[in-house]
Amino acid sequence: MDHPEYLDPPHYDGSRLFFWVSKASGVPIDLVNFVIGQLFALLFAAIYRTAFHPSKASATKRHCAALVGGVTLLYFCFGRHAYLVMFLTGVSYFITVFFPAKYVPQIILPLSLVYMGCVHIRRQLMSQTGFSLDVSAPVMVAVQKVTSIAFAWKDGSEKDQDKLTPLQKLQAVRKIPSMLEYFSYILHFQACMTGPTVLYKDYIDYIYGTNYRKHIKSEDILEDSPCSAIPVQDPSPTKAVITKVVVSLIHALIFICICPMFSVGRFKDEEFFVSTTFYQRMFYIIIVTTLARSKYYHAWLLADAICNASGLGFNGWDENGNTKWDLISNVKILDIEFATSFRDTLSSWNIGTMRWLRYVGYERATFNPTVATYILSAVWHGFYPGYYLTFVFGALLTGVGRTLRRHVRPHFQSTSSSRKIYDVLTFLGSRVALAYVTMPFVLLEFWPSVRVYSSLYWYLHVLTILALVAVPKIFPAHREKMSTKSKGVQESN
């Protein structure tokens, strides 16, 4: 097969059925397959919501349809490498069934992390040949699910339920899932590619149609329905789906058409440092990192739209009576781009992973919960050095954010004008800090990242350390009641 390596990565094992689209668009076949696969999943989601509605189809049929759709999608995008996801699922189910419940998470968590680590290492080796999209993303999603259900099964078997947190009690599983239920949960087509991760109890509520019961009044229940929890008229996801698809496609176009104009590869070119000033470099970093987020926005919004189109993700109504379809949403774009603190940025980014980190990491840590959660998050992401440069400095920025909020913010709360000034300053500071800290995450490599930071004189690292030391001494302490337990996980990814 004589295709350009850029369009047809040599180690990619997915379908070449739509390679003509790659040739026409100049987009690699792996990315073309991802988009086409997700668009077909969106179409199937609409069919699934009507043809396999809980009032028409049994739970078994709904499980089978979701599972077959997921396996087909994985095989289309990754070929035989899709078995890496299925193998992890099978091994985890075997452990869940044949080992005592209290030991299941102790076995599955480290085992799945090691397994995922091997997949990450493989990806890093393949990426040297220009390999872009591989099965590591579905494996990462599967790891979140097999570990969360492992802990949910342990919680459900816990004799002293008072030891559990409210979230653990809510998600506790008291009966081992059948093989069909387990595989359907891990591999269902709505979220097997990039998430969002839905916890097992929420997924089962969706399969049986009981996810609406939490949000409707008893007089709205159709008593003679095969499933008594189905409301007379299901809330329509159409508006939410259209909105998310449109915004997702806009970000896809940004990624395809604009991102190449601001290549991260320039950071590896010595000419870049010779021909630019300090402020030009910082501005370029802001542009590159902002544009780099577009691929995540595209993938997460499209996956969220697929879930919503199939009826998954309903979260009740707001105070104005509008439906909310954000139960498992992974991202809040406006909250990220207009955040006034690093903490607020993190709380709106990769929300499903935040929920998972809290559920399996922060609430169960046997040592410093924040540190333990940062470690879990870092290992889950992989082993590119750039990730760790971002996570380590991100921890420092988190500390600075707490310090500024405690010692500086109260001095700007006396008037509305001073509050606005503080918000503007923190907004601008957050934009600069977000770009600075995520640059290694985008660049991935260690020495090129160090070279960029050196060209900027490590200025934000220096200012961060100075702020941690000097701000408490310059500004008087201001006591505020703070819930460390509730905040820590938001600062861990």
Please state at what angle helix 59-78 crosses helix 83-98, rounded to 10 degrees.
Answer: 140
93-105 residues labelled b (16+ CB within 10 A) or e (exposed):
bebbeeeebeebb
- Please name the residues in contact with 405: beta carbons below 8 A apart, sequence gap of 6 or more: 341, 480
Measure the CA–CA gap between 373 and 377, rounded to whole angstroms.
6
- Bridge partners, 221 (sequence order): 231
| Residue 196 preceded by cis peptide, ω within 30 | yes
Residues 192/200, Cβ–Cβ less than 8 Å: no
Q: Which letter does DSSP use for residue 144 in this model?
A: H
The number of residues making up the chain comes to 493
- Please name the residues in contact with 222: beta carbons below 8 A apart, sequence gap of 6 or more: 228, 230, 231, 232
- Please name the residues in contact with 277: beta carbons below 8 A apart, sequence gap of 6 or more: none
Measure the CA–CA gap between 484 and 479, rounded to whole angstroms.
14
Residues 202/80, Cβ–Cβ less than 8 Å: no
- Please name the residues in contact with 167: beta carbons below 8 A apart, sequence gap of 6 or more: 358, 359, 363
Which residues are designated catalytic?
Answer: 350, 381
Residues 443/267, Cβ–Cβ less than 8 Å: yes
